[in-house]
Structure 1
């Protein structure tokens, strides 16, 4: 889903719930699942965030940050669904889709 949303892997910063926005009238929301929503700019269509509803945890695309020299690429999710046409050189913690859902999706 993230590759379709952004045309490639989503490189995002886990901002927990420590997020505030100005210009909220310009933010559109898409309910992408029972447990998450995606925010986008109503003016230009830029991706703004992926948010877990249960704990208001925001994942914000790294490209939106002007200063990102201290960001560390330390894990990948849905590694079992990664296409073969790219591979990152970093050593990371890798989670399968099932592991991600077990960690973030609320119990049914």
Structure 2
């Protein structure tokens, strides 16, 4: 019984240590968690800008609000930080570097006005 209790405590401690070492606590808290905010008219103070993951377009967006920071883990200071944290959920950027060989264009005779 003591060994079982010790192992449960050790596993819990290791898990908590691993979670606090992360900057954001995984996808649930960092990217896809839906938080409730006050209405913009109820928030005093100057505007501030932060980045958040948009769950419809699957990309990080810039958000401008007058509300103070309430939630710790889903408001990012930089776009790069948001993209790094939510990279698994973002739509991959596909670059088409392959140049396809199109059919060679046939040269048309120059029109010099002769019938």
- Judge same fold: TM > 0.5, yes or no: no
The structure that has the greater radius of gyration is 2
Larger helix share, 1 or 2: 2
Larger strand share, 1 or 2: 1
TM-score, normalized by length of structure 2?
Answer: 0.23
